[in-house]
Structure 1
């Protein structure tokens, strides 16, 4: 047993040294003029690469030189990078067609020269591990991704079913928001490449997906936060902003200009951020807005760092797709609960309003019934010598079940004038509500001054 444990820890120690050695044996050369081939690159001036290359829009042709790799697997986990060639000695190494990202295997300790053509952002992450360890970690990553996609699918379907059942578009927009975010992860995980999709189609689908994610996120937030209740012009702004987004998207599809994609990506994240800020401003209104702000902040900040900032050669926290997915788990759990919680609160408020409306309707029905009975008896119950002509008119119309607005329209006077006369006649007759009007006898002679 002791020998087995010792052997295990020695292997781990060797592995640790090997992994550290890789980071010290990677060099980079920016071939600005694309002057080198695999035969001449050995004479180029390489500089040590101690961290992930992140040059943003300073793209173009880069050469990597990697030393001391025997039976290792090298992967570049960036879905935007597809044009790669690797040479070891005089041999062109085979790029695997069955991996999510550009991946190749080394077979001896000769230096490996990797030609990387970055036509988008110059972000070149490297995953270099002994082949056995690489295969093991790939299996773990695939399991994690499968669990995430399954969970996202359940959340989306559940919200679609809620939409069909309750007819609340908030559920529909959230389901579409979750679907578009999940498609974005599928792209970032290299699944489009694994499915054999061409680079051109993949790039267009990504741009369309991120635009739709921003639009559905804005629509969801508008409904969820009930923006219309706060006299906000944000919905009008969002409509114009969305039209601009779509215009830029169509321009990018037509031209494939990467700078248009950068603008589109920046505007998409800006739109979602605006609604998060709006949620912060409304934070004290109720509990479900608090849940919205808390849930959004995780995936928003990590998404900006993972998708957007690398386009500008910036990264505050060195995160990967797994970190963003964990934030996605938290966001889906919190917002799924928050959407259902919000629905229950609104249903309770609607029930209260409905009960009040029913009581008011019954009151009107009672007034109408009394009025019909009085007309049958050919009486004029709503006349009193203590009241002025106008007050008697208003009293008569109250007895007919008319509202203040209807009385104002009938007599061609303002609602404030109606309220003024009602206040005076209530005082003269010693009553406090419309119901008491029907209890009056004819003629009414209360509070007669001697």
Structure 2
């Protein structure tokens, strides 16, 4: 039931947001050549039916035409995509200057009656959304979007600072890693909102995405590995994740050298694949860790929307794409739930370890005098007070992994069964059991069960 809830919740959000694509204005389009100029373009070159260019990997130069009958005075033509920074507009054969201080490429058309042509150089995916506003409507929409963006990023910054303060307060490394993960996510969202274009000029950071997205995947990998304790719970998964990250990061310099869009698509797919892999690791641990469901539920919100938002455009399936606002809604849900889940995990582990060590110490003290001479060679003669202090010190040295193996020994598991359940080799399990024997001062599994009987 938990798994079905985790899988279906983001689908419901997506169904509620699919109207974004249908709000764009259709136009007549044709793919051109890089050498073409406005003098080479005529109306008979364009498609017979209006459309929205959504051709995925088929990028390059496109020409758009808005017929004379649909051109009105004092209207703004906006291309709401952070990747469309190389756009030119022509009316009556003359270039129309782009509006300054806007997030996206926007053009104010002062007169009606003459058809418009747009030359768009799609450096990345061939996806060209167009929105048309009255001038007053455009100003109001920009003000509203800046207000919503400011509220969201203010909240995001507060969550990041809270997690940093919790790290210094509780010395819990998971809070620090989530702070870095949250920061990288929100820097990526800043780019998607074209905030960098607004402050630094159109096209100033065209390739910043190829730094931010791999950074997000790497930070997400570190956070997920720490939160789910994959180095102990799923060692093979930890190795696979590391390998995927190495491949992704190795490809980034090649992209900046070649600026090849197909390499961009491969890296984006790897980013989403890595994040999806760690979410699957969370699903694998659903039945084994009480805090894993919180991770899986929170992680899938931002992951599902990110895959839907970025990969759908690369694949030419933008009819399925969610809006930037839906990405933010997923981000708010993810930040709130993951911050709570880190708290929950920390307290759960702390309480569990405290109770385990208390019970081990009690049973050690009760059963210590029953150890048979032939099972353990201990000729030390210490009084009860000294023995109690030594045992308490030994209990404090038990690691989380050793406590987990003690539980499985108590359940009657063999070395092979323990190895399969916690994803370790049989030899590694034997090594841990040897260390447990030394710390509890026993020489058999029977004595371990006697000294560490759990409910």
Same fold (TM over 0.5): yes
Does 1:397 find its partner at 2:379?
Answer: yes
Structure-2 residue corresponding to 1:77: 80
CA shift, 1:258, in A, is 2.1
Alpha-carbon distance in 2 for matches of 1:167, 1:276: 25
Q: Secondary structure at the match of 1:397?
A: coil
Question: Is there any run of 5+ residues in structure 1 with no aligned partner, and where?
Answer: 1-19, 368-381, 424-431, 434-450
Alpha-carbon distance in 1 for matches of 2:140, 2:65: 25
Contact in 2 for aligned 1:72/1:106 (Cα 8 Å): yes
Decide which moves more: 128-137 or 265-274: 128-137
Decide which moves more: 85-94 or 253-262: 253-262
Contact in 2 for aligned 1:173/1:219 (Cα 8 Å): yes
Decide which moves more: 332-341 or 141-150: 332-341
Alpha-carbon distance in 2 for matches of 1:144, 1:21: 19
CA shift, 1:208, in A, is 1.3
Does 1:173 find its partner at 2:200?
Answer: no
Alpha-carbon distance in 1 for matches of 2:321, 2:218: 28
* Map 1:4-403 → 2, pairs under 5 A: 23=25, 26-31=27-32, 33-34=33-34, 36-47=36-47, 50-67=50-67, 68-70=70-72, 71-109=74-112, 110-196=114-200, 199=203, 202-315=205-318, 317-356=320-359, 359=362, 391=374, 394=376, 397=379
Aligned pairs, number:
375
CA shift, 1:36, in A, is 3.8
Change (3 A) 1:104 1:235: same
Structure-2 residue corresponding to 1:440: none
Alpha-carbon distance in 2 for matches of 1:281, 1:66: 53
What is the TM-score of this pair, normalised by structure 1? 0.75
Contact in 2 for aligned 1:186/1:192 (Cα 8 Å): yes
Q: Secondary structure at the match of 2:82?
A: coil
Alpha-carbon distance in 2 for matches of 1:21, 1:175: 36
Contact in 1 for aligned 2:59/2:125 (Cα 8 Å): yes
Alpha-carbon distance in 1 for matches of 2:35, 2:180: 47
Contact in 2 for aligned 1:28/1:48 (Cα 8 Å): no
Alpha-carbon distance in 1 for matches of 2:322, 2:24: 20
Alpha-carbon distance in 1 for matches of 2:123, 2:129: 15
Contact in 2 for aligned 1:305/1:316 (Cα 8 Å): no
Alpha-carbon distance in 1 for matches of 2:240, 2:31: 43
Alpha-carbon distance in 2 for matches of 1:244, 1:21: 39
Alpha-carbon distance in 1 for matches of 2:200, 2:59: 25
1:55-95 CA-to-partner distances (Å, cap 9, x unmatched) read 11101111111132221101111111111110111332110
What is the TM-score of this pair, normalised by structure 2? 0.74
1:240-273 CA-to-partner distances (Å, cap 9, x unmatched) read 2222222111221233222222111111110000
1:83-115 CA-to-partner distances (Å, cap 9, x unmatched) read 111011133211023101111111222111111
Q: Secondary structure at the match of 2:39?
A: coil
Change (3 A) 1:394 1:103: closer
Alpha-carbon distance in 1 for matches of 2:434, 2:108: 82
Structure-1 residue corresponding to 2:403: none
Q: Which has the larger radius of gyration?
A: 1
1:393-427 CA-to-partner distances (Å, cap 9, x unmatched) read 95763866799979x99xxxx945x969x99xxxx
Alpha-carbon distance in 2 for matches of 1:272, 1:190: 23
Change (3 A) 1:268 1:39: same
CA shift, 1:359, in A, is 4.6
Contact in 2 for aligned 1:162/1:171 (Cα 8 Å): yes
Structure-2 residue corresponding to 1:436: none
Alpha-carbon distance in 2 for matches of 1:357, 1:287: 22
Alpha-carbon distance in 1 for matches of 2:208, 2:260: 15
Contact in 2 for aligned 1:69/1:107 (Cα 8 Å): no
Contact in 2 for aligned 1:60/1:118 (Cα 8 Å): yes
Alpha-carbon distance in 1 for matches of 2:39, 2:434: 90
Change (3 A) 1:155 1:51: farther
CA shift, 1:181, in A, is 0.9
Alpha-carbon distance in 1 for matches of 2:189, 2:319: 20
Alpha-carbon distance in 2 for matches of 1:21, 1:162: 43
Alpha-carbon distance in 2 for matches of 1:212, 1:253: 15
Alpha-carbon distance in 2 for matches of 1:291, 1:141: 31
Change (3 A) 1:318 1:395: closer
Contact in 2 for aligned 1:252/1:260 (Cα 8 Å): yes
